[in-house]
Chains A and B, each alone.
Chain A
Amino acid sequence: MGQQITLALRQSIHRIVLVLVSFLPGVLAFLLALIVFTLIGWVISALLRRLLVALRFDERLASREAPNSPAVLADWSPSNSPTLLAARTAFWICVLAGIAVGISAFDASYTSGSEYSFFLLPYVAHLTGAILILLAGGILARFLARSVLIGAVNAQLHYARFLSLGIKWLVLVLAAAMALDHLRIGGGIVELAFGILFGGIVLTLSLAIGLGSRDLVTRSIEKTLDMNPPKPTPISPTEFPTRTDPDPRPKLRHF
């Protein structure tokens, strides 16, 4: 009995050691590829940055872009520097290439695991796509939230912050749902949850705007009525309105 247990344990340890021995070279190859390509990416990024700084890339690009254009490249770049954007893009392309090469090397060294790389490589591509969707969604959400906030404040809407937050979360929820869908996680649950969340946010915003704009709409209707007064009907002297004078205050002229 004891011998059988010992034998079973030995065989189990032996199998695990065998798996590890065949697995470790693949992991090491993956790590080596990743480190080498990261180093290459770092070198390329540094060289590219130096080159672009020497060429005054940012200044040249800024001078070629219209100052009033709504979205220039610098606005989307980290620290508002297209040079930095190019350098970082080059770096991350190299890192992604390192991951792809590492997975391939892992496949080559771990003979029985070809199905792993067959599964992992497309999944890494999907993961990269999902991360990019999230990043783009985050940037777009921030841009739109600021646009709405500033526009609403200048339009003197008291629920400006609420509106801005609503827009921001709409875009973020949309981006998150797209990313999950891209990764094929959740399936129908994500679609359902997204529909509920998106619809909820839109409904909340509509209610908020509708309730908050009552005064604005009232004023607008009053103004329209003032511009197109109805034909006077004979009224008794006791029914004269209390306010008949036009607004006497001077209007501001900014220009």
Chain B
Amino acid sequence: MPPTLTQDETLPATGLITPAAADLLICLPAITPDALPAALETIAAAFPNESLLVASSSTNEQKPDSITLIPYPTDRSGLGWILAASDYAAASKLAADHTAATILLLSDAPTPTGAPLLRALADTIRSTRVDLAVPRFHLGPSEGLVTSAILYPLSRALFGVDIRFPLPTEAALSPRMAQRLASTAQRLITLNQGASLLWPVAEAAIGGLSVREVDAAETSPPAPPQEDFNTLFTNVVNSLFADIESKASFWQRARILPTRPVTAPSQPSIEAATVSPDILSTIESFHLAAANLQEIWSLVLPPQSRLALKKLSELPAAAFAMEPNLWARIVYDFALAFHLRTLNRNHLVGAMIPLYLAWVAGHLRTINDDSTTTQPIQQTAAAFEAEKSYFVSRWRWPDRFNP
């Protein structure tokens, strides 16, 4: 049962001081008692000469003098490695109680190298009057693939916000942003869905609040502890599609960002291309699905997409690449099928995994080194923007594209 925070709720007593007010509130919803001392040291180093309010479910007597620990609701639910709806609700409640002007929400214990990022996130809110600040990580070509393939392009195309990591693991919030997120989270908690993910970038776009990215070149996002990729993918994509469904009235009329010219990355020649075992493995998954899941795909995808997939399945591994426009249409078709409940939603997202792996194979084959990572991702995002009219048309007239 996720925590529902009310005015009368008494938080667990830890024998700590509860201050009346603070400028900066830092919430550590998922920190373990072992990791707390090092995390407090990092926080103190990031904000020297500042009085800080840190909310944690763990307690620690050996804390720096500048830090005041306050209890955090311990009954946390969600995926663990990422911020869930109940985290935003709890942070907003604590911020309101202590009249905090800036809220820093961290899903994992900060490392010493992450101290500058914490500082930069908080300063962005305090000095530039931005409502939401999220980190922009610099990942390698084989990292953050779900974000590159689905989360970022969809967020940019539908909500017009060019934020590279729309599902943040760390976020700095203004009080009004926290309040908005808390009201959305509270609705989910009322429906017993406190463990659901919240999409703060989309919320900010709808609420007309400003969002800014903070460069996080020195740090990397926390890795999910759950090793079952299929479950994780299903949870995240289900949540994203549900969010898109609930915000349909906004994105159908929202203007997209002015399209930036994106040059197509040069495809490695078939002779020169080296096909790594990872790529071969993902292509094999796609081939297996193409042989077995046609019946399910035919419920979701229009004939032209199925034909394109058939052609793709016949390509040799050295020439394997999914066109960005085809990928964009596939994602949009699955989002529509999620809305129409064409089939069970877990089945739907499960049937999408091999298609995502096909995109991954093409993406990895295209990228030769870290320097060329950005270009294909921008090209994919541009394809999602170009195909948005297709999505809107299908959303309004779902049967038009099927014979």
Contacts and interface: CB of A to CB of B under 8 A. Distances in A.
Report whether chain A binds chain B. Answer: yes
Contacts of A160: 288, 292
Contacts of B235: 68
B341 A74 contact: yes
Given A151-B350, A154-B350, A249-B278, A255 B293 contact: no
Contacts, number: 104
A153 B354 contact: yes
Contacts of B293: 149-150, 153
B370 to A, nearest CB: 12
Interface string A156-182: 101011000000000000000000000
B343 A149 contact: no
Given A158-B288, A249-B278, A252-B360, A75 B143 contact: no
B232 interface: yes
Interface in B271-290: 276-278, 282, 284-285, 288-289
Interface residues on A, range: 20 to 34
Interface residues of B, number: 53
Contact of B351 (A64, A150, A252): A150
Contact of B242 (A67, A74, A156): A67
Interface in B127-154: 139-140, 142-147
Nearest to A75: B344
A66 B221 CA distance: 28
Interface string B312-353: 000000000000000000000000000011111111001101
A252 to B, nearest CB: 5
Contact of B144 (A64, A66, A80, A255): A255
A153 B289 contact: yes
B296 A146 contact: yes
B147 A255 contact: yes
A255 B224 contact: yes
B345 A68 contact: yes
A146 B144 contact: no
B223 A253 contact: yes
A232 to B, nearest CB: 28
A254 B360 CA distance: 9
Name the 6 nearest CB pairs between A and B, nearest first: A80-B341, A150-B350, A67-B242, A253-B143, A75-B344, A254-B145
